[in-house]
Structure 1
Amino acid sequence: MTTQPEHHGEELIARPARTPEALRAALAQVAPHRLAEMEQQKNEAIAHSVDSGSIEPLRGFLTAWAVHVEIARDLDTAGRLRSAEHTAQTLDRRDPAWKAAMAEIRAIFDQARVAVGE
């Protein structure tokens, strides 16, 4: 486990190490409904790494899931994301609230990337 960031919400779990096993275990606690998606993406990343002869697809996979877990492990952040996603999915793109929701989604992901060291 790594150092905890400052959060204003309630963290469900500590930030996991950026390994497939640690991220999978963390995801099982904070968003178990996404485990099949993670497994599929892991298999795709392995295949792309083999095909390309590069570890970059694996690094990308680990970073993406570290970000997803970072968001899901904080109740306030996860709630903000769900709300912004709902708004973005239900409003017309010309609506200023849609643009604000998209900005919120980007900000949440940007903050999570920073928190996990990306």
Structure 2
Amino acid sequence: MSSQPVHHHNGPLIPMPELTWPALRRAVATVAPGRLPEIFEDMQQAFVQAAQESSVGPIRMFHFKWGVIVAIERDPECAVRFHAAEKTFNTTADDGEQQAALMEIADIWQTAEREVKALVPG
């Protein structure tokens, strides 16, 4: 009889990356490889929008958004809670359960935003 090893994750899998395209791409490849097509598509849209607006704002927003996603995904326990809440929100018809799931999503997202804001100079 063989048993699978139990892996306990106490905290993030990787350090929080810099908010740059190469660092975020590497981080996503590590913590959420299934989201690589999404980050590439978002990056392309951000650069197109930046060119249309003659502004770096869309690129900064791209970096911030993906910084938040990485902040969530790099912590396995946090990611599990986030995705469970998303699933509940998207699949339940119960208003109370949907509201609780939405509050969990918002709480996790806001916590990750604070982590990312701490990386932004100024």
| TM-score exceeds 0.5 | yes
Q: In the TM superposition, what are the counterparts of 1:11-50 in structure 2 within 5 Å?
A: 11-50=12-51
Secondary structure, in 3 states, of the residue corresponding to 2:117?
coil
Q: Is residue 2:112 matched to residue 1:106? A: no
What is the CA-CA distance between 1:9 and the residue it aligns to? 4.1
Instruction: Number of aligned residue pairs: give it.
Output: 110
Distance 1:87 1:36 in 2: 25
For residues 58 and 113 of structure 1, what CA distance do their matches in structure 2 show? Answer: 17
Over the residues paired in the alignment, what is the CA RMSD in angstroms?
A: 1.4
- Find the counterpart in structure 2 of residue 56 from structure 1: 57
Percentage identity across paired residues of the two chains:
37
Distance in 1 (CA, whole Å) between partners of 2:101 and 2:54 is 39
Runs of 4 or more above 3 Å deviation: none
Unaligned residue ranges in structure 2 (runs of 5+): 1-8
Q: TM-score, normalised by structure 1?
A: 0.89
What are the ranges of 5 or more consecutive residues in structure 1 without an aligned counterpart?
Answer: 1-7
- TM superposition shift of 1:10: 2.4
TM-score, normalising length: structure 2: 0.86
> How far, CA to CA, are the matches of 1:111 and 1:58 in structure 2?
22
Which structure's CA Rg is the greater one?
2
